[in-house]
Amino acid sequence: MAELLRSLQDDQLVARFQRRCGLFPALEEGPRENSVGSAEGAARDPGAGHLPAANGNGQRRAGAPQAYIQKYIVKNYFYYYLFRFSAALGQEVFYITFLPFTQWNIDPYLSRRLIIIWVLVMYIGQVAKDILKWPRPSSPPVVILEKRMIAEYGMPSTHAMAATAISFTFLISTKDRYEYPFILGLMVAVVFSTLVCLSRLYTGMHTALDVLGGVLITALLIALTYPAWTLIDNLDSASPLLPVCVIVVPFFLCYLYPVSDYYSPTRADTTTVLAAGAGVTIGFWINHFFQLVSKPTESLPVIRNIPPLTTDMLVLGLTKFAVGIVLILLVRQFVQNLSLQVLYSWFRVVIRNKEARRRLEIEVPYKFVTYTSVGICAATFVPMLHRFLGLL
């Protein structure tokens, strides 16, 4: 078993997968890109240019991720574009479009389940990364295609966790609510999650063990939480104290996030996810408490036929989505600027000092306030605007 785990964590396994898919490192001449002197590099980016060191047994130990991005040659553009697209399905750009679209155009009940399960797996995955501190694959031999994620640790793959959670929560939640071939839904869920998982190997961001660990952790979380999913459906009719708990608990989870040896975006990303989930939950509670929902929610489960996609339905869905995204972006920009100004003034920080945003006492509150507002807006004010504009 130990030998199997070591082989799954081997960088060469990732490199071989990349070569099989037509991704090769380029032969470079002259000094490396991003190469700087050790002192200068440390000043620019703590941990930059340092590869994970080896322990006495020859195994890699956690170290600051490297900043070196190797040039590469693509010999199979089908796999290149397939896995780059698949990688985008596990990134923020997908979730900030798919989840609101589901909320406004498909089924709020389904969206609520997806968001809460997504928040749960993302928080556990991000915290596990900064507790385990397993390094990402080294370059060379691996070709790394994404620069932003280098500052994060590798185990488990939160892309794999999120893709698995979203696809199978969607499947489980719709099988008793809509009429469609279950085998077809299962195939879509498997293909979706598999493509995202393989994309993490192709982009050089994770070892096979990172990806498998993420999938197994998510499967365990779904199995453990499934009996409580009906509670999610009734959160909007919970106690008037729910908004207080939903704000206080996630905020302190963000504030008490594990301290890293150097700055990485994991704390900010985790705060964003938890705050958005808190905001959506509060938004659903507001809709129920103040009776803003136009019609009562039907008892569950409800079997529905999937309506045929028509041109009018497509235009209406895209219009609702565009209106909602514009309002969300306006709210996000306004609340973010306001919260930063208040925090900068409170802590007497120069406004143009972008590094100050990384400070714990500034980063967590401004991210939390901003994305809680975004979540409330998406769940409450966007549907109200839709109704006002006659889009419902």
Residue listed under structure tokens 């170290």 = 63
351 within 8 A of 73, measured Cβ to Cβ:
no
Q: How far is CA 225 from the centre of its chain?
A: 19
Cis peptide before 140 (omega within 30 of 0): yes
Which one of 50, 159, 288, 386 is the catalytic residue?
159
Dig out the tokens for 38 from the structure: 């050790």
- Among this protein's residues, is 386 annotated catalytic? no
Q: 317 Cβ partners below 8 Å, 6+ apart?
A: 101, 104, 105
212 within 8 A of 8, measured Cβ to Cβ:
yes
Dig out the tokens for 123 from the structure: 């928080």
Please choose, from the candidates 47, 39, 303, 34, the residue with its C-alpha nearest in 3D space to the C-alpha of residue 179: 303
Distance CA 104, CA 389 (A): 14
- Among this protein's residues, is 206 annotated catalytic? yes
Reading phi first (left if > 0) and then psi (alpha if -120 to 50, else beta), residue 38 is in alpha
How many C-alpha atoms does 345 have within 13 Å on its Cβ side?
6
Please report which helix (H) or strand (E) contains residue 25, including its range. strand 23-25
- Active site (catalytic) residues: 159, 206
